[in-house]
Structure 1
Amino acid sequence: MADPALKVYPNFASEAFAPIREALIQATNESAQQVTECLIAAWDAEHNIRVAEEAEQQQREQEEEELHLAKEEAEQEHREGEKKKPKMNNFDQATSVSSVIVPCPSQYALQRLNNFNHVDLWYLSPASCAKASKYNRSNADVTFGISKVDDILMLRSVTVVKASRNSVEDHDLSFEAFLQVKNNLLFYAKKASWPGKHLDALAEFFWNVETHPMCSNPNGNTTVLTYALRVHHSWHNDLKANKVFNIAIISDELMKNIDWEINAKASKECAHKASVHKHVPIHHTNFPFPSPPYCPIPPLALHPFSFFLCIMVLSLTRPTPALNPS
C-alpha cells in the first residue's frame, strides 16, 4: 500500500480541472486563482486526514504485532520451563508389579547398550548391579571424565565412561552365572531399542550355546563360554564394519578348535603341576638318622606292605655303632 504522505496535490490549474473551476467560479463568484487555492486547500485537508489515519493504523498494527510477539515469547518460555520441570509419569491402575525384578546395571553398561556396543556379561550380573547401585548412591555424579563422540571430546559423568576394574570376561564366568546374565542382557538390550531382528538372533545364539552337546564333554562349559565370548565380540565388530554374519548359526568347526585349545591348555597345566610336585624334596625331620634318598613316589601313596619294606631297607642304612672291645 502506497504511503499517503508521499502524495502531492494535482495541478488544479490545468485544463483537466477547467470545468470544475468554471462551476466553482459561477457558484462562489470568486476568481479562478481563488478557486484553485480552495481546491488545493480542500485536497490538503483530506490528505492530512488520510495521513493521520494511516499513521494510526500502522501504530495499531505495530502494537498488535509487539503484543503477539510478547505473548508467543511468554508461551515459549512457559513451554521450556515445563520441559525442564521433573514430571511423574502416569501408571496403569490394573497392572501389578512383575514377578521378577531385573537388577539394573551400571550407567557404563547401559550407555554401551544404548550405543549398540559390546558389553561384558559380568556387567549384567547381580554382583555387578549391586556394586553399581551402591556406587550410584555416592557422589559419583559430580565426577566427570572425557569421552570422544563423533571426533568431539566431551565431559561426561565418570559412571558412563569408566569401565569397572572388577569386570570379569565372559569365559571366566560360571556356567550358571552365564545362564542368568544373558537374560538380563537381552532385557536391557530390548529397553535400549535394539532392532527385533538382532535381539532374536542374539537370543537364539545364547540358546544354541546353552544347549550345545559340547557342554557334556570334559571342560565343555569352558569351551562354550569361550566360544560365546569370541563370537559375541566378533559379531559386534562386524556390525560396525557392516559385514555381519548370523550369530545364531553355531560354527561346529570353531567350537571344536576352541575345545582342542582348552583341553590342550588343561593338559599342559596338569603336566606342569605334576612336574613341580615330582621335584619337590621330602624332608624327614623326625628320623633319628640321616634323611633317606628321595623317593619319587610319596610314601603315603605306597601300599602298606611296600611302605613297611621301605622302612626296613632304610633302617639297614643306619650306621652301626662301634663295638666296645671290652
Structure 2
Amino acid sequence: MARVARNPELDLCPDFAGPIFQAARAAIVATVANKTNADVVRYFTTAWQTDWDAKKIAWDQQEVADKAAASDEATRKQAEPDAEAAAQKREADKKKPKLNDFDSSRGIGDAIAPRPSAFALRKLERYEYVELWYFTREGCVDAAASAANRTINEDAFALTKVDDVVGLRLAASFSASKNVVKDIDLTWDQRSFAKNSMLIHMTKLGWPTKHVESLADFWYSLETHPTRSLLHGDRIVITYQSEVRFEWHDCLRRDQGFNIASINDNLMRRASDKVWDAVRDSRPGRDTVSNS
C-alpha cells in the first residue's frame, strides 16, 4: 500500500454547498432523476468522509509501523557491538558435541564385539584399503592394549585434510600398528573372523549396500571355491584375496570399480603358482644345482 503523505487530521471537509461546487451540483441534478441540490451535497460530503476515514486508518497504521521500525533499528544498532560475540557463540554451538537420545526399554546385548583401532576405522570410514588383521581377534586386542597404555602425550592432535577442509584428529588415529600382519600372511581362521567384523563395521560406517554385499559375496565365493580342496588351497585363496581386494580399493579410488565377487580363474592360477613357487623355494637343498 502506498504511503499516506499527509496527516488527514489536517484536512477539513470542503463546503460542497458553496458556490465553488455549484456547477457540479447543477450538472448532477440535471442528469439524475429525483436528485435535489441537498442530495448532491450529502453525496459529496459522504464520499469525502469515507475517503478521509480510510486515509485516517492508513495513517494510524503507518505511524505504528514507523515507530516499530524505528524501535527495531535502535535495538539493532544497540546490539551491533555484541554481533561478533553472538556469531562466535553460534559457531561454538555448531562444534559442540551432540548427545543422542536412547531407548529406555532397551538393554545391552549379551556380547560386545571386539573393536578395531581408530586407525583402521578411520581408513574404513574414508573408503580406503586397510589390512584385515586390524579386524582379527589379535588386531582388536592390540588396539585395546594400545589404548590402555597410551600416555597423555600420545593423546595429541594432528592436522588432517578432508575435502579441502583442514581439521584436527587424535594423532593415534593416524598411527598404524607395529604388529600389523599383511593379508597374505593371515591364517584361514584369522581371515574368516576378520572379514565378518569388517563387513559389520563397513555397514555401521555407512558403506553403500551394493559394495558391502559385493565384498560379502566375494568372501563367500572364496570359502566355497574348489581350490580350497587342493594342497595348499587355503593359502592360494588367501593370496588371491589379498591381491584382488587391494586392487578393488585402488580401482574404486580411480573410479574404475569392478565386481569383486566375480572370481577370475586366471588370477587364481597365478596365485597358485606363487604359492607353489614359495613352497619349492622353502624346501631343503633348493640352492644345490646339478651340473650333469
User: Fold-level match, TM-score > 0.5?
Assistant: yes
Indicate if the aligned counterparts of 2:3 and 2:62 stay in contact, CA closer than 8 A: no
Higher relative contact order (CA 8 A, sep 6+): 2
Question: Quick check: 1:188 aligned with 2:201?
Answer: yes
CA distance in 1: counterparts of 2:254 and 2:201, whole angstroms:
24
CA distance in 2: counterparts of 1:51 and 1:96, whole angstroms:
66
Indicate if the aligned counterparts of 1:109 and 1:123 stay in contact, CA closer than 8 A: yes
CA distance in 1: counterparts of 2:111 and 2:61, whole angstroms:
76
| Aligned match of 2:279 | 266
Cα 1:211/1:57, change in 2 over 3 Å: closer
CA distance in 1: counterparts of 2:254 and 2:157, whole angstroms:
30
| Aligned match of 2:128 | 117
CA distance in 2: counterparts of 1:143 and 1:210, whole angstroms:
42
| Aligned match of 1:312 | none
| Aligned match of 2:33 | none
CA distance in 2: counterparts of 1:142 and 1:18, whole angstroms:
99
2:174 is aligned, of 153, 161, 170, to 161
Question: Quick check: 1:129 aligned with 2:140?
Answer: yes
TM-score by length of 1: 0.60
TM-score by length of 2: 0.66
Residue identity over aligned pairs, in percent, reads: 27
In structure 2, runs of 5+ residues without a counterpart are: 12-17, 22-57
CA distance in 2: counterparts of 1:242 and 1:177, whole angstroms:
30
CA distance in 2: counterparts of 1:250 and 1:88, whole angstroms:
43
| Aligned match of 1:142 | 155
Cα 1:19/1:87, change in 2 over 3 Å: same
Question: Quick check: 1:177 aligned with 2:190?
Answer: yes
CA distance in 2: counterparts of 1:197 and 1:265, whole angstroms:
36
Corresponding residue pairs, total: 241
Q: Once the 2 structures are TM-superposed, how far is the Cα of residue 136 of structure 1 from its aligned partner? A: 3.3
Q: Once the 2 structures are TM-superposed, how far is the Cα of residue 55 of structure 1 from its aligned partner? A: 5.9
Q: For structure 1, which segment, 156-165 or 189-198, has the greater mean C-alpha deviation from structure 2 after superposition?
A: 156-165
Measured on the aligned residues, the alpha-carbon RMSD in Å equals 4.2
Letter in 2 for 1:106: S
Q: Which has the larger Rg?
A: 1
In structure 1, runs of 5+ residues without a counterpart are: 11-16, 21-49, 276-326
CA distance in 1: counterparts of 2:166 and 2:95, whole angstroms:
27
| Aligned match of 1:223 | 236
| Aligned match of 1:37 | none
CA distance in 1: counterparts of 2:237 and 2:274, whole angstroms:
12
Letter in 2 for 1:240: R
Q: Once the 2 structures are TM-superposed, how far is the Cα of residue 132 of structure 1 from its aligned partner? A: 2.0
Deviations 1:13-50 (A, max 9, x none): xxxx9959xxxxxxxxxxxxxxxxxxxxxxxxxxxxx9
Q: Once the 2 structures are TM-superposed, how far is the Cα of residue 164 of structure 1 from its aligned partner? A: 2.0
Cα 1:243/1:59, change in 2 over 3 Å: same
